[in-house]
Amino acid sequence: MNLLEGKVAIITGATRGIGKGILETFVANGAKVAFTYASSAEVAKAIEKEFEGVKGYQSDAGDFDAAQELVNQVLEDFGQIDIVINNAGITKDNLLMRMSHEDWQKVIQVNLDSAFNLTKAVLRPMLKQRKGSIINMSSIVGITGNAGQANYAASKAGLIGFSKSVAQELGSRNIRCNVVAPGFIETEMTAKLDEKVVDEWRNSIPLKRGGTPEDIANACLFLGSDLSSYVTGQVISVDGGMHM
Ligand code: NAP
């Protein structure tokens, strides 16, 4: 399928895991992709080589000025920006009793400020084009909360309120903003976990398996493409039925 033919997407944090899965699906559907990373420069180079029409940018998602510079550079390189996926995210888990102020701030900065930074930066070009799709990567934990993840859950819940507000402010300009809330997605990170623990997780999910980056990428494909041209302000949970 070529659902994204003629479109340019920015995907943050696409050197591995979910971001890389989205990149692969977007390229397979005809999109040109600008992606970012924090430090994996070598991996980014390999991705540029592997896929056509793809360029990597080292850009800290939590840095306001860096987002502006990124958008200017992508506009120079690609000429337009149709889709933005704020995917980059980190965890610094701890019980509240033990959570440092620094770990609170860092998670909010990378996971939540990042969406503000890049949305602000793409606003002007998208307003000019009178179209755009912004997709923010939340988590099921942003809906339910989770012990030991107060900072992460707050950042992911914040993305939902932010996205619904953006959808209301910019709908009249044909700029859509939606949220994807993944459940338990099996990536390189989860491959390191104890198999017994992972099996217990799988069994507690109605669809009896962990999700794949491709499962998340397909939701992003829908939201990034014109198939979803009448969908905005929504949270799509992609979690095998974990949370209903
Ligand atoms: P991941 O494997 O840890 O990959 C994170 C990506 O983000 C990497 O490309 C990393 O780049 C980049 N990154 C980290 N900090 C950054 C920063 N400050 N600026 C720019 N890029 C940065 O993550 P993932 O598991 O695929 O998760 C992706 C998103 O989905 C996150 O927002 C996460 O919260 C959300 N999510 C994941 C799950 C899950 O089960 N995996 C579930 C729910 C939600 P480097 O390689 O350079 O470090």
Mean pLDDT, range 172-178, rounded to an integer: 98
Mean pLDDT, range 125-141, rounded to an integer: 98
Mean pLDDT of the chain: 97
The answer, yes or no, to whether any atom of ligand 1 lies below 6 A from the CB of 228, is no
User: Nearest C-alpha to atom 1 of ligand 1 is from which residue?
Assistant: 17
User: Nearest C-alpha to atom 34 of ligand 1 is from which residue?
Assistant: 89
Residue of 16, 54, 163 to test ligand 1 pocket, by largest number of atoms within 8 Å of CB: 16
Give me the residues paired with residue 137 across strands: 180
User: Nearest C-alpha to atom 11 of ligand 1 is from which residue?
Assistant: 37
Give the C-alpha separation, 149 to 209, whole Å.
23
- Tokens (6 digits) for 197: 């623990």
Give the C-alpha separation, 157 to 154, whole Å.
5
Per-residue confidence (pLDDT) for residue 190, from 0 to 100: 80
Tell me the whole-structure pTM to 2 decimals.
0.98
Which of 37, 57, 152, 230 is catalytic? The answer is: 152
- Tens digit of each residue's pLDDT (9 = 90 or more) over 217-237: 999 999 999 999 999 999 999
| Confidence band of 193 (pLDDT split at 50, 70, 90) | confident
Per the listing, tokens 């398996």 go with 209
The answer, yes or no, to whether any atom of ligand 1 lies below 6 A from the CB of 29, is no
Is residue 178 within 8 Å of residue 138, measured between CB atoms? no
Q: In angstroms, what is the span from residue 89 Cα to ligand 1's centroid?
A: 4
CA distances to 28, 37, 166 from 192, rounded to whole Å, are 29, 22, 37
pLDDT of residue 133 exceeding 90, the answer is yes
Give me the residues paired with residue 211 across strands: 185
Counting Cβ atoms within 10 Å, is residue 208 exposed (0-12), middle (13-18) or buried (19+)?
A: exposed
Taking the domain 8-186+213-237, which CATH number applies? 3.40.50.720
- Tens digit of each residue's pLDDT (9 = 90 or more) over 48-67: 999 999 999 999 999 999 99
Q: Among this protein's residues, is 152 annotated catalytic?
A: yes
Q: In angstroms, what is the span from residue 12 Cα to ligand 1's centroid?
A: 8
